[in-house]
Each structure stands twice: as C-alpha cells, then as structure tokens.
Amino acid sequence: MKNYFLATLLFIGFNTANYAQSVTSVTTTAQKPDDVKFDFICHPYLQNMTTSGVSIFWLMNKNCTSWIEFGETQALGKKAVNSANGQIDANSEIQKVAIENLVPGKTYYYRTASKSIVKYESYNVVFKDTVYSELYTFTLPAEKVSKFSFLVFGDVHNKCEYIKEVMTHEKDFDFVIFNGDVVADIMSEKQIYGNFLDKISGFFAAQKPFIYERGNHETRGGYTRSLLKYFDYPANHYYHNFLYGNTNFTFLDCGEDKEDNKYESYFGLADYDAYRKKQAEWYSSLIQTKEYKKAVNRIICSHIPIYKAYDNDKEGGGDWHGASDLRDNFLPLFQQTKIDLMLNGHTHMPRLLTPAQAESPYFVAISGSPIYENYSTPKRFTAYTLVEINGSKITVTLKKPDGSIIDKAEVK
C-alpha cells in the first residue's frame, strides 16, 4: 500500500511539474520577448468610412494599448481611443480605433500611437515603448456627393503586387472594393496581414478606404473564421448595404460554389444554402425601405456572378451549385427593383456585358485575376475595374494594370 501511495504521489508531482512547465511555456510564447523591438506588423488601413467617421486598423507585434491622434491640420490636437463596456482596448496585437463626429467632406490628418504592455496584472500594469506611425490624411465623403469614382479588384489570390503598379496612374479614386478571393485558402493569420493588409497599406489603404467582400476561397482553410476581425462592416457581417452620396451599394456574401453536402470539399462544415436564403430575406426587406428607393444609382457587389446568361457558362462555373442557388434566391428579387450595375469576380475572365448580353436587367462587370498569368489561358488575365459616377451617369472601364483599356461602357 505504501508503495502504491508513493507511486501516486510521484506521478502527481511529476505531472504537476510538467503542467507548470507547460503553462509557463504558453505564457512566455504568447508575448514576444523583450529583445524583440516593439513595432508594426501591419501599418494603418481605413475601414467603414462614412460622412462622419472612419475606423482605422493596424497591427503591432506585441500586446499594447493604442490611440489615434488627429486633426484638421498637421498639428493634430485631438485624440481618439476605442473602448467597450468601460474598458479601453488593451493587451491585443490587433488595433482598431473608430473616429466619430467628424465633418462631412473634410480632410483630416492622423497618426497612430501604440504603447507596449510588458505586464498586465490585477493591480499592476507595466508599459514600455511607444511607437507612432507616420502622418497620413483621409478625406470623408460629402453628404450629398454625386460625383466620385472607385476601383474594383477581384480574385487577387494572394498576388496583390500588381496593385502597386495600378496606383502609379490611378490617383483620383475615392475608395476600393476587393471583390472576393483576395486572401485565398487561408491557412494562417499571417497570410491575411503579411500577404495583403500591410502591402495595400503602403499602396493606398492608409489614406483611402476599402471594402472587403468575401469570396468562395476565403471560406477555405483553417483560419477562415479569423478573417472577419480584420475588417469593419456596418452590421459586423460580410453582407451589408450602404448609401454613398447618391448611390446605393449592396454587398452579398456568396459562400461556397459547390453543394454543402460535398463532403470531400467541406467535410460537413458548410451551411451556405441556408445562409444565402437568409440574405435573400434580408434583401427582400431592404428593397422596400425609403433609403434604398431614394438612391439615384444602385450597384450590387457579388463575388459569384448572378445573371441569366451565366447559366450556360460552364467554363466560368455558371452551372455550379453556388451560382444556380444565388440565381434562384436573388434574380426574382432583382426583377422587383431597378439595378444599374452588378460587379462580379470568380470567373477570372474580365468581361463587360450589356443587359442584352447578360440576359438580365443590368450591366455586368467582371474583374480579372493574376493567378493565371503564367498559363496559356488567353481569356483569363489580370484586370481591374474603374467605376465613375457623375450624377445619374455611370461609366465602367476595364483596365490592365498598366492602365491600358480593355473595354468601356456608359452604363447609364
């Protein structure tokens, strides 16, 4: 009996020591060691800009607390923090500060500030270094703006370097739409900020906002459920609607392009049929609202195309389940309201289709993709879309990264 108890005590002691060592290991690896310089891992980028505010995101390589210094001149003079339930955000690597109550149409200067936290205990918080960004500007839209432009990039598939070339000749746009399959097949969070966010911050996103629409490839990979926390949406989910000046934008979240029960692809973790139906119910209510009806122009953004002629496009995936389910849910609703333009991706084939060509009551613009640049696929190549709004006139231009025009049409 003595030997039994002795063995038990030794076993407990051994495993307790191992547990303590394991906890210590987790604790020390969760935060970067002191000899690592406190610094950015992703520079600022703008989200969810309205006529009176904007959200600014950035990422630091150590836990910290952060704020924004801003103002109408380079002297700044104002400060904004993010807080929830009485607590200012702290002890996280992802930084987000929403600045509110700003003046429509006004240009503001800003810089980010982050102070590292080396110890956070119940009655003792120890701060260390403070890191500032460079000085940036952003300009809010005017309340009744009727002349503006934006760019659309789709199917980037982790290859966003060509956007840097685009920015050398596109200077006057107001915002950017990323139309799905941008950070594709997400296998780590570093892929989200390292391959995409930090790069486009340097290209344009520290001074002009973008809207990120999820594509079917953003639903694949072990870290897809982490994607949402890097962006800001009006209702904190991917599908949403907003009015920009005289134009209404509706963003749909298409989900996967194959059947939910296709086990070899989704392994029982897909529920997109119900999700698309839920969005259709939401859109059905949306088109009855005064805000939607009063818009001069109406634009739909959907990664997977939703137009009648796409039914027969087997090469682009038009006969796949996701596309047909979207048509079943949304085309009857689109017939009930006036839509001017549908912005799509997914096929990797740049196209600008008239309503007659699309067999639908709206123009369709599909952006290209860099993923097939090194293959002999002449229909698939890198391209982006420029959309210009001037009152009730909408002009759509498909371009190559060097700015050369592929196709152009006056939609309205």
The DSSP annotation for 16-32 comes to HHHHHHHHHHHHHHHS-
Is pLDDT above 70 for 2? no
Q: Residue 376 has what pLDDT?
A: 66
Q: Residue 19 has what pLDDT?
A: 34
The stretch 75-102 carries a mean pLDDT of: 96
Name the β-bridge partners of 79. 69
Q: Residue 373 has what pLDDT?
A: 76
Residue tagged 């025009």 (tokens): 405
CB of 113 closer than 8 Å to CB of 68? yes
The stretch 344-369 carries a mean pLDDT of: 96
Write the pLDDT tens digit of every residue in 136-155. Answer: 999 999 999 999 999 999 99
Which of 320, 237, 311, 243 has the alpha carbon at shortest distance from 279?
237
Instruction: Measure CA 177 to chain center.
Output: 8
The stretch 188-210 carries a mean pLDDT of: 96
pLDDT confidence tier of residue 61, bands split at 50, 70 and 90: very high
Collapse the DSSP code of 52 into the 3-class scheme (helix H, G, I; strand E, B; otherwise coil) and give the result: coil
Q: Which tokens is 15 given?
A: 């495993």
Q: Which amino acid is at 61?
A: N
pLDDT confidence tier of residue 21, bands split at 50, 70 and 90: very low
- Residue 18's CB is within 10 A of a number of other CB atoms, namely 10
**What span, in angstroms and rounded, lies between the C-alpha atoms of 97 and 197?**
16
Write b or e for each residue in 260-271: b if 16 or more Cβ atoms lie within 10 A of its Cβ, otherwise e: beeeeebeeebe
Is pLDDT above 70 for 30? no
Q: Residue 412 has what pLDDT?
A: 84
Q: Residue 262 has what pLDDT?
A: 87
Is pLDDT above 50 for 10? no
Write the pLDDT tens digit of every residue in 361-388. Answer: 999 999 999 998 767 678 999 999 999 9
The stretch 334-348 carries a mean pLDDT of: 96
Write the pLDDT tens digit of every residue in 234-288. Answer: 989 999 999 999 999 999 999 999 999 987 778 999 999 999 999 999 999 999 9
Q: Residue 33 has what pLDDT?
A: 62
- In this structure, of 10-14, 329-333, 340-344, the range with the lowest mean pLDDT score is 10-14
Q: Residue 384 has what pLDDT?
A: 98
Q: Residue 31 has what pLDDT?
A: 55
Is pLDDT above 60 for 25? no
Percent of the chain with pLDDT over 90: 85
- In this structure, of 52-61, 189-198, 258-267, the range with the lowest mean pLDDT score is 258-267
